[in-house]
Structure 1
């Protein structure tokens, strides 16, 4: 299929569909990336690159899954697809009703013939799947819907271990129809789109402003606890899980984390493993590895500095953790992604 191409425009219009019980972050997360890109470009003395809009079945307020309403700028049928660069379909509790709506499914299928980029966030991939748009393509979705997608749509090349499937080159994903994994992966998808549109420097600046890692490419192994830290976790652990990524140099021993969570070490270990599917030590190592990956991708930092900043202490400890999780050394990882790393 030939990818639609819009006439040259200085400003890209990015549209996201909203529906009752949509996951609010699936909508606001990606659109914030594009809005922040405009702010960054303005700081550099450049013109904005994006217009963002939300559309729905009708214009007006749309109820999200946690009660706050999002305002839809336009009704779906009023959208001029010839002026749209990118359409995103988010996920959420209401997605099953949406994917069983023939009018919506047909609309997205028709939109793909006109719009250069059509993507999904989280379980929004189920709508694209229902429209047949993912047949023969690599796709991903929220981990909790992967088994269902695999069984219902066997023609899709489903991969669970990816952040997103967007690739402007078409070599490791798709430049026209693409998907992303759960919730915050939509932000990573938006950063990838931004990088393709405006370059790595702008994308990295926006990622830093949003306190995100610029993850690239979408096919990198997803060991990130930033991606799914709270899935299945009890309220007893929520505060700790939010605190951990910003405190990787702290004492993260079993006793210290148990004290912060207000539990005995034995109870903490049992509850943590039950809710997260990992021991506390394994979980901490995973988020430290993910933080190290982000620093190595950003560049201009030594292996020793990375080890210290991420709580490993010694470069050898970092190297062993990288091999356990990624089967590669930190130095090789940096070189593979074209980053200049200072000597150890």
Structure 2
């Protein structure tokens, strides 16, 4: 039997913890047997959370013989205790599969388990993760990332997708499909699918020196905006500007600009009946062909399918991350 240990930290987000507990707990083999044993582990026997406290049966020693460790998100993304870091590092050296849900990725990053790897977390925290851990290759627009022994997922719903992916990898598609039906969730949401989230403004640290520039970009998306123009408005060389921009936002200026244009297009697709050609111009894509190609690359579906899903029309099926 495969042991799944859920590492519960103070102020854990209950749904982030419940998602893997439910998924692995519902899993059954064709003969009805349970393939997974699920346990909760923590530093102390009682863990506070929002509105109630959890009684925990196993300490950190419960991680030592686990086959899989899952770290849910918690309200505080500060550094975990040295004991937690040491336990995770020891488990990683032993070859244990370790996964995170939502901002649980920060715990893995603090333990050095994400260095040099691709990773994701909730879209509101991707810039912070990239800023605090520059050796981590943050993927802000995917549901989950599988590096083999180390996995990370976006929000709690994406954690369900990641767990189903692990079950499929362990036991095959038929068992994973049965687990999905029992949990009333869709089976087929691949990890590379975009988190279909519309930000009012791409996240940047409060008080960032880039805020005036970013506001100017938002106000001028329909026009041509080059790297040189952005650097010039900031009074820097292109090289210095690009480095400063990545430090403060966790992404490159042109990637930020592309996602800002996609967000503008998402808003227009959801809230207007403008034709695709007009939306392409308003969002600054130049041509409908370029718009369709880049929108699909970032969002994971076509502008037409996105509009149909988010305006409640029939004829397309889009899964919301």
TM-score w.r.t. length of structure 1? 0.58
Q: Distance in 2 between matches of 1:19 and 1:80?
A: 13
Q: Distance in 1 between matches of 2:126 and 2:13?
A: 18
**In the alignment, what sits opposite 2:17?**
27
For structure 2, the residue ranges without an aligned partner over 5 or more in a row are: 200-262, 274-307
State yes or no: 1:62 paired with 2:71: no
**In the alignment, what sits opposite 2:313?**
312
Give the drift of 1:311: 5.3
For structure 1, the residue ranges without an aligned partner over 5 or more in a row are: 1-10, 167-173, 229-275, 286-306, 326-344
CA, structure 1 residues 183+56, in 2 after alignment: closer, same or farther (shift >3 Å)?
Answer: same
**In the alignment, what sits opposite 1:88?**
70
Contact 2:119 2:137 in 1 (8 A): yes
Q: Distance in 2 between matches of 1:47 and 1:223?
A: 36
Q: Deviations over 1:82-127 (max 9, x none)?
A: x31100111111342xx24222222211211114301111111111
**In the alignment, what sits opposite 1:13?**
3
1:81-230 mapped onto 2 (5 Å cutoff): 81=64, 83-96=65-78, 99-166=79-146, 174-223=147-196
Q: Distance in 2 between matches of 1:223 and 1:154?
A: 25
Contact 1:16 1:90 in 2 (8 A): yes
Q: Give SS of 1:141's match.
A: coil
Q: Distance in 1 between matches of 2:271 and 2:39?
A: 38
RMSD: 3.1
TM-score w.r.t. length of structure 2? 0.61
Give the drift of 1:159: 0.4
Give the drift of 1:217: 2.6
**How many residues get paired?**
220
State yes or no: 1:282 paired with 2:267: no
State yes or no: 1:73 paired with 2:57: yes
Q: Give SS of 2:22's match.
A: helix
Q: Give SS of 2:145's match.
A: coil
**In the alignment, what sits opposite 1:52?**
38
Q: Give SS of 1:79's match.
A: helix
